[in-house]
Amino acid sequence: MFRGMQWRVTAWFMLIIIVGMGALGGYLTVSVRNVQLTNLKSDLRSEAVLMAAQALPYLDGTQDPAGLEALVKSLGTQTATRFTIIRRDGTVVADSDEDPALMSNHANRPEVVEAIAGGTGEATRLSATLGEQLIYIAVPVTSGDTTLGVARVALPSTRVDAYVGRSITTILIALAVIAVAVIVAAWLTTRYMTRPVRELTAAARRLAAGEFEVPLAQSAPDESGQLARAFNEMAVQLRSTVDELTEDRARLTAILDNMADGIITTDADGAITLANRAAGDLLGFRPERAARRPMIESVRDYELTEVLQRSLSSRRPEEIQFESSATGRFVRAIAIGGERSSGPLILLQDLTEVRALQTMRREIVGNISHDFRTPLAGIKAMVDTLQDGAIDDHDAALDFLTRIQDEVARLTHMVAELTELSRIETGRTGLEWSQVDLNALVRETLVQMAPQAERQQLTMTPDLAADLPAVPADAERLRQLIINLLHNAVKFNRPGGSITVTTRLEGDAVTLAVADTGLGIPRRDLPRIFERFYMGDRSRTGQGSGMGLAIAKHIVEAHGGSIAVTSTEGKGSTFIIRLPRSRPGA
Amino acid sequence: MEIRTAFHKALREIQDEVVVMGNMVEKALLRSVTSLKERDLKLAREVIEGDLKINEKRYAIEDKCIQLIATQQPMAGDLRAIIGLLNIITEIERIGDHAEGIAKIAVLNGDEPPVKPLIDIPRMADLVVDMLHRSLDALITRDADLAKEIADRDDRVDELYDQVFDELLELMTKDPSIITRATRLIWATHNLERSADRVTNICERIVYMVTGTMEETNISNY
């Protein structure tokens, strides 16, 4: 508190005033004393002259010298002053305070010597008679030109001092009052003067805390007003700068958060400074919690830590591909060398799909060659047999040819499916939209599939909703889809089993379910059965291209619908198709 | 005060190394089971080679712990923390060995078809890896409650172990020709079960580091 500017200024004022007043007091004391002393001495001299005039008749013999004693004593008591009358030879004739007979010869007293010489004698000394400090003034008692003696007046100097002291006390009190008044005035003035500084300090603090609305009163015409104006301008500038920065940051954050690739920035120690949402999703951590923590504590992946360390030491871009243990995603991480002040920036790309696609492509090639090899091998064997002479056996040759024809038909069908699938997948097929009566379509397809079902002793039961509205669809493709599902239901059923086809209206969609009582699908195969060429171990033993369900899925999705499957191993499977009642995008 | 700060910085760095090592083992376990499931011999050999790196890491961490004890002479809780980390890396390293064991089984199996679809074994591996991962979370945050909670999940792993064991036993009774391959799968499962037990040991260590008391959290049947 006492360190404030106001206090310091006041303290300086106090010092100056105390020193100044002290000097003034000292000076005044000395000069007042001198003046007083001079006045006193001149008064005493007047008294001495009067005394001399009074004493003259007694000394020149006109009156009895004995009367002088009484006169001196009386005057001395009245004026509280000591009077002494001394003859020219130095003998004391009368004294107001003492018995003259007891007093020594005064001829050699300095004031007496001077007075006898004709002047006014003056001295200050200890009185041998009274034992105190006295001021003496002596004048000659003259009759004509003859000096008869000396009239001397004496006053104790303590009385002089008391006299002078009173004046000085008055002066000092006045000075003290003035000093206090000046100090208070100084305190108030500095308080007033430093107010703008205090206000500025408070405003600067609020500004630092991010409060930009702190206008200072800037009306004062002096320097403080200028300072306030400058400060207000600065606040406005600062505000716009901060706004710009905030906006930039928001834009950057928006970009980062909407990027498909993950970004992690690090500091020179390899701790995370910033991570975007994609990075968090890819590696299974929460970006908002990662900041300022070592990489491994947030992104718990040692391979990423490794690439970061490598890049930190090599100061060059480093790359790694790894599978995240937290999310199972396959990630490519590129650490791009950091600047001096910061660590590397890590770019993360999700390669999971790419890798899955690569794997799938490998599988497809394997599957296709396998699926084509079997019928081709059959055809080749049968052709060989025919060449080796079977052609002459009419019945056998006919049988072989029929079987060759079947195999060729199968190959043709596979090629057609493959073509269809690739066409659907690249989106090059347009659908022929019309309002389709799903129940009618089911009945037709059931009739169509009846011979196959009978061969396996299967019963096919339609369970059709009576009030089923028509749905917008491509009738031909929908027929193909239902046949596909029925075909599977027949193929994977057990002899004597059943197939139930159900249609229902469910809100703004119609559903079609094909349930069989077959072998069911193992749980591990369920997620993959709609993939191209995916075949469970069981379907691999029979015939099939592995494309049926993939095509089914594409057809349903082209209609804006969905396909799902539930299955219990050993009990059967149910495929459920949902088709929306309104055309997608229409 | 400065010495304390230097000590805690060093301790945290060691702890981060432990977490790195933990993740190495997490991945080794996941990869070993994938190699077993998908008969991926290349991956299996990578896991076996990777175990060397895990062991090296363990010794490096151990060395740092000893140096820290020698130079800083920590007391009470700080000493407990270092000793705790030393024990934890031993357990993690052993889990790494279990992963290596599974990978070796994958190599032994070679291209032979599996005796049964591997469903529960990968599920067990996921559970163990999750337990290990979260136990290291508990280490980072010094969360004794979380550590205890994780240790309790060992039961779920034991259940799966029993299930797989019974299933394989039944298959072997039906078809003795698969006994060799089925027994190997039992080994693999056993490796996972042991790994889960070691995670519970880690959790006990964390509880000890935080509270200063040693608690046997889970009495396993195996």
CA gap A532, A549 in Å, rounded: 8
- Chain B residues closer than 8 Å to A524 by CB: 117, 119
Counting Cα atoms < 13 Å in the Cβ hemisphere of B118 gives 24
Cβ atoms < 10 Å from Cβ of A347: 18
Cβ atoms < 10 Å from Cβ of B217: 16
> Pseudo-torsion of CA B88, B92, B98, B104, nearest 10°?
-150
Q: How far is B208 from chain A (nearest CA, A)?
A: 21
Q: What would the DSSP string read from start to end of A348-369?
A: EEE-HHHHHHHHHHHHHHHHHH
In the beta sheet, which residues pair with residue B126?
A: none
**Encoded tokens for A159:** 């009385």
The kind and range of the H/E element at A452 are helix A438-455
pLDDT tens readout for residues A289-346: 877 888 888 888 888 888 888 888 888 888 898 888 888 888 999 988 766 667 888 8
Between helix A475-491 and helix A548-558 the angle, nearest 10°, is 150
Provide the 8-state DSSP code for A294. Answer: B
Q: How far is A191 from chain B (nearest CA, A)?
A: 44
Q: Are strands A318-323 and A459-464 parallel, antiparallel or unpaired?
A: unpaired
CA gap A464, A468 in Å, rounded: 8
> Using only C-alpha atoms, what is the Rg of chain B?
19
Judge whether B133 is closer than 8 Å to chain A, CB to CB: yes
- Chain A residues closer than 8 Å to B117 by CB: 522, 524
Residue B139 has pLDDT above 80, yes or no: yes
Q: Which residue of B has its CA nearest to A302?
A: B20
Q: What would the DSSP string read from start to end of B94-152?
A: HHHHHHHHHHHHHHHHTTPPPSS--SHHHHHHHHHHHHHHHHHHHHHHT-HHHHHHHHH
Q: How far is A356 from chain B (nearest CA, A)?
A: 14
One-letter-per-residue 3-state SS of B193-209: HHHHHHHHHHHHHHHHH
Q: Which of B16, B30, B129 sits opposite A296 (nearest CB)?
A: B16
State the best of A266, A295, A296 to mutate against chain B, taking most chain B CBs within 10 Å.
A296
Amino acid A296: pLDDT: 87
In sign, the C-alpha dihedral spanning B65, B69, B74, B76 is: positive
**Tokens 């052993």 sit at which residue?**
B94
**Interior CA angle at B155 toward B150 and B159, to 5°?**
140
Q: How far is B53 from chain A (nearest CA, A)?
A: 12
Q: Does residue A58 or residue B89 have the better pLDDT?
A: B89
Most confident of A168-182, A206-220, A425-439, B127-141: B127-141
Q: How far is A228 from chain B (nearest CA, A)?
A: 45
Amino acid A199: pLDDT: 82
Cβ contact B26–A325 (<8 Å): yes
Amino acid A538: pLDDT: 46
Cβ contact A523–B30 (<8 Å): no
- Chain A residues closer than 8 Å to B119 by CB: 523-524
Q: How far is A306 from chain B (nearest CA, A)?
A: 9
- Span between the terminal Cα atoms of chain B, in Å: 47
Amino acid A428: pLDDT: 58
- Chain B residues closer than 8 Å to A326 by CB: 133
Question: B residues 138-167 near A, CB within 8 Å?
Answer: 140
In the beta sheet, which residues pair with residue A513?
A: A502, A576
- Chain A residues closer than 8 Å to B136 by CB: 300
Cβ contact B21–A325 (<8 Å): no
CA gap A317, A303 in Å, rounded: 15
Residue A537 has pLDDT above 70, yes or no: no
Judge whether B127 is closer than 8 Å to chain A, CB to CB: no
Amino acid B194: pLDDT: 92
Residue B1 has pLDDT above 60, yes or no: no
Q: Which of A305, A522, A523 sits opposite B20 (nearest CB)?
A: A305
Amino acid A214: pLDDT: 64
Cβ contact B23–A300 (<8 Å): yes
The kind and range of the H/E element at A27 are helix A5-59
pLDDT tens readout for residues A46-96: 888 888 888 888 877 777 777 888 888 888 888 888 888 888 888 888 888
Q: Which residues, other chains included, contact A435 with Cβ-Cβ below 8 Å and sequence gap of 6+?
A: A470, A471, A472
pLDDT tens readout for residues A415-469: 877 777 777 666 656 778 888 888 999 998 888 888 888 888 888 888 888 888 8
pLDDT tens readout for residues A99-146: 887 888 888 888 888 888 878 888 888 877 777 788 888 888 887 778
- Chain A residues closer than 8 Å to B21 by CB: 302
Q: How far is CA A207 from CA A217, A228, A245, A475, in A?
A: 15, 13, 16, 72
Cβ contact B117–A305 (<8 Å): no
Residue A541 has pLDDT above 50, yes or no: no
Q: Which residues, other chains included, contact A41 with Cβ-Cβ below 8 Å and sequence gap of 6+?
A: A122, A135, A137
In the beta sheet, which residues pair with residue A350?
A: A331
CA gap A396, A55 in Å, rounded: 195
Cβ–Cβ < 8 Å for B91, B198: yes
Amino acid B215: pLDDT: 65
The ipTM is: 0.82
Provide the 8-state DSSP code for A559. Answer: T
Judge whether B26 is closer than 8 Å to chain A, CB to CB: yes
Cβ contact A325–B117 (<8 Å): no
Amino acid B27: pLDDT: 92
- Span between the terminal Cα atoms of chain A, in Å: 78
Cβ contact A522–B133 (<8 Å): no
Judge whether B129 is closer than 8 Å to chain A, CB to CB: yes
Cβ contact B140–A297 (<8 Å): yes
Most confident of A202-216, A326-340, A363-377, B148-162: B148-162
A-B C-beta contacts closer than 8 Å: 36
Cβ contact B19–A325 (<8 Å): no
Lowest average pLDDT, out of A166-175, A407-416, A532-541, B8-17, goes to A532-541
Residue B212 has pLDDT above 80, yes or no: no
> Using only C-alpha atoms, what is the Rg of chain A?
65
Judge whether B24 is closer than 8 Å to chain A, CB to CB: yes
Q: Which residues, other chains included, contact A307 with Cβ-Cβ below 8 Å and sequence gap of 6+?
A: A318, A319, A320, A333, A335, A346
Q: How far is CA A424 from CA A293, A547, A553, A558, B154, in A?
A: 49, 12, 10, 9, 49
CA gap B151, A64 in Å, rounded: 140
Between helix B144-152 and helix B179-211 the angle, nearest 10°, is 160
**Tokens 């006014």 sit at which residue?**
A120
Nearest to A330 by CA among A322, A338, A342: A322
Q: Which residues, other chains included, contact A53 with Cβ-Cβ below 8 Å and sequence gap of 6+?
A: none
List, edge to edge, every strand of the sheet that includes A121-126.
A92-95, A82-87, A146-156, A133-143, A121-126
State the best of A325, A329, A538, A540 to mutate against chain B, taking most chain B CBs within 10 Å.
A325
